[in-house]
Amino acid sequence: MSIIRKLAVLLFLMMLVVASVGYYALSPVTPDPLPMEFTLNQGSSLTAAARQFEQKGLLKSPGAFVMFARLLGRAGQLKAGVYRLDHPLSKLELLEMITQGSVSKTQVTVIEGWNLRQLRAALDAMPNLRHDSTALAEAELLQRIGASETHLEGLFYPDTYFVDAGSSDLELLKRAYQTMQQRLQQAWQTRDAGLPLESPYQALILASIVEKETGIPADRPMIAGVFIHRLRLHMMLQTDPAVIYGLGDKFDGNLRRRDLANDTPYNTYTRVGLPPTPIALPGSDALNAVLHPAKTDALYFVARGDGSSHFSATLDEHNRAVKKYQK
């Protein structure tokens, strides 16, 4: 076969591929019934989305849709949210909808352990929300969400929320605040007797510390038990995450001896009792651990290096554990 004939065959095959892709791109997707809603969760893969479309009757071949999206370079561009289909559309239009984020509702995931700065940065980065809270001072923002507290830190429940696209971030913050209040009050009503905590807000503060101190979920009740034991004995909590929170922007990633000696309202090495506010957003497990702590005589714990902690009842035992696991 001559070079000219080979080029002609190659050109014909390329035109065939282009025509096939074009035909597929413009072929209709007919939702039944209309309107139809579907949800793409944060981190959903294209394959998972295509299978969901197959289950809803939007696609016959999820594999072909995945190949089509990859061919156009859109495979990693899915946007989470709730989507609403009001009319038939093409496969190309469906792909553009889920990669451009043409949502009817926006999915917002608030992560356990985030502090207020991280939460507000995440909201500010969401294009489908109206950013009405950005310019508000703390006192005004507290008033706008109906909070009776004097500080915002720790007041928002970590969960996944769905809000109408284009709605105000104040709506999301108000819902997250109300959810935290409901969960906190429910947990407080069933708390163990005799805890050295005077109010639900104090439980929230301690839960935020437990949240930040926990390497693996199974350790939460024991870590809470250590702190409850220390509070009963009027010992300093000596928890590094609180000190780090108190340092704010001055913290460079290394906690030094001078930091532990630098007195701030959050330095639990220089002050007895709880810090004045939460230091992060605690989840339900941390709240439950604080209000139903493990019954233990342990006063110390140290990270083993695998995410778990070693608990000790005496300082000598603790020092030996520190040498074993951290030196």
Q: What is the 3-state secondary structure (H, E, C) of 34-76?
A: CCEEEEECCCCCHHHHHHHHHHCCCCCCHHHHHHHHHHCCCCC
Over residues 203-211, the mean pLDDT reads 97
Same domain (yes/no): 198, 322: yes
Last residue of a domain, one of 85, 103, 121: 103
How crowded is the C-beta side of 102, counted as CA atoms within 13 Å? 11
- 44: in domain: yes
- 87: in domain: yes
Tokens of 29: 């997707």
pLDDT greater than 90 at residue 38: no
Cα separation values, 222 from 60, 107, 188, 219, Å:
51, 34, 19, 5
Same domain (yes/no): 206, 320: yes
β-strand partners of 84? 37
Last residue of a domain, one of 72, 103, 134: 103
CATH value at residue 60: 3.30.1490.480
pLDDT value at residue 13: 59
* Model confidence band, residue 10 (pLDDT cutoffs 50, 70, 90): low
**Of residues 15 and 184, more confidently modeled:** 184
pLDDT value at residue 73: 84
- 284: in domain: yes
Pick from 105-109, 158-162, 284-288, 289-293: least confident: 105-109
Q: How far apart are CA 227 and CA 78, in angstroms?
A: 43
Same domain (yes/no): 89, 212: no
* Contact status, residue 138 vs residue 152, Cβ threshold 8 Å: yes
Q: Which residues span the domain enclosing 279? A: 193-326
How crowded is the C-beta side of 154, counted as CA atoms within 13 Å? 29
* Model confidence band, residue 7 (pLDDT cutoffs 50, 70, 90): low
* Model confidence band, residue 17 (pLDDT cutoffs 50, 70, 90): low
Same domain (yes/no): 87, 199: no
* Model confidence band, residue 35 (pLDDT cutoffs 50, 70, 90): confident
DSSP string, 230-289: HHHTT-----HHHHHHHHGGG--S---HHHHHS--TT-TTTS-S--SS-SS---HHHHHH
**Of residues 247 and 40, more confidently modeled:** 247
Over residues 95-114, the mean pLDDT reads 84
Over residues 92-113, the mean pLDDT reads 83
Counting every residue written for the chain, the total comes to 327
Q: CB under 8 Å to 327, separation ≥6 — which residues?
A: none
- 219: in domain: yes
- 299: in domain: yes
* Contact status, residue 105 vs residue 161, Cβ threshold 8 Å: no
* Contact status, residue 41 vs residue 98, Cβ threshold 8 Å: no
Last residue of a domain, one of 103, 128, 156: 103
pLDDT greater than 60 at residue 32: yes
Provide the mean pLDDT of the chain: 88
β-strand partners of 300? 312
In tens, the pLDDT along 116-174 reads: 999 999 999 888 888 999 889 999 999 999 999 999 999 999 999 988 878 899 999 99
Burial 206-221 (b: 16+ CB within 10 A, else e): bbbbbbbbbbeeebbb
In tens, the pLDDT along 209-254 reads: 999 999 899 999 999 999 999 999 999 999 999 999 999 888 888 8
How crowded is the C-beta side of 134, counted as CA atoms within 13 Å? 11
- 36: in domain: yes
- 78: in domain: yes
pLDDT over 70 for what percent of the chain? 93
pLDDT greater than 60 at residue 8: no
- 4: in domain: no
Q: What domain count does the chain have?
A: 2
pLDDT value at residue 222: 96
pLDDT greater than 90 at residue 79: no
CA-CA-CA-CA torsion sign (230, 235, 240, 244): positive
pLDDT value at residue 18: 60
